[in-house]
Amino acid sequence: MKKTIFRTVSLFGLALMLFAAGCSSGSAPAQPSAAASPQAGATASAQPKTQVELTISAAASLTDALKEIAATYEKQHATIKLNFNFGASGALQQQIEQGAPADLFFSAAAKNMKDLVDKGLIDTAQQKSLLLNELVLIVPEGGKVAASKVEDLTADSIKHVAVGEPLTVPAGTYAKEALTNAKLWDALQNKIVQGKDVRQVLTYVESGNAEAGFVYKTDALTSKQVKIAGTIDPKTYKAVEYPAGIVKATKHGKETGDFYTYLQSTEALDVFVKFGFSVAAK
């Protein structure tokens, strides 16, 4: 009986010794949970805001300038992502009429904007002409074609003349108007090759698939493969205006309004001027 009691006491003493040894070995006390940590609470409250994506339907001739403007704007507005839908202004107008998502429309012709205003898709108080451009005649760089004016296009050496599709491409509309006033539109029908937008017209001339073409001055300046052969008389076609307007169906009215306002800023307009545009009178 005494041996049993002694053995029990000895085992109890051994347990106490082992517990004391564990505490003296430097075992760290339990840490508070992350939920209770002030630092964890601060991290949770610093979560970034949800990014807003805006769709900008813009004339193809605005491509280079708007991409540069977007890079600057997105750096200044971390929660904004600008997605561009570039194309012929007439085609973009039709897309908006059919309900395609768009927050802002930037046209290469006042007519397309007016049509959307008349149909109640853009508020007249939220649209404005911002830029001007001019129509030029281009030929391949280093080529042998001599065409400095529209009358030269009748020469046998010119087999193809690239023009934007007049019904949907404003540059094509202006070109047709200038050629009609020069009494050459019908005479050149067997030479005319139509492009889906002004950038395709530029490509036709760059590749040599057309010996001449009608584009905006700003498009011609983007390419080292073409040269401006002549400037089309501005009296022979309507002024090339670029209005921008907020689409009524936008779900991001404030963010779209902020970008619309930025497009009118000196910072943005300077970029357009760099790419060859002129600023419309205020």
Residue in the block written with tokens 């007249």: 124
> How many CB atoms neighbour CB 206 within 10 A?
18
d(CA 54, CA 104): 8
How far apart, in Å, do the first and last CA atoms of the chain sit?
111
Q: Residue 86's Cα: distance from chain center in Å?
A: 7
SS3 179: helix
The CA distances from residue 275 to 53, 158, 182, 212, in Å, are 26, 29, 29, 22
Binding residues for molybdate: 61, 89, 171, 198, 216
d(CA 56, CA 35): 43
Binding residues: 61, 89, 171, 198, 216
Residues 142, 229, 131: CA angle, nearest 5 degrees: 125
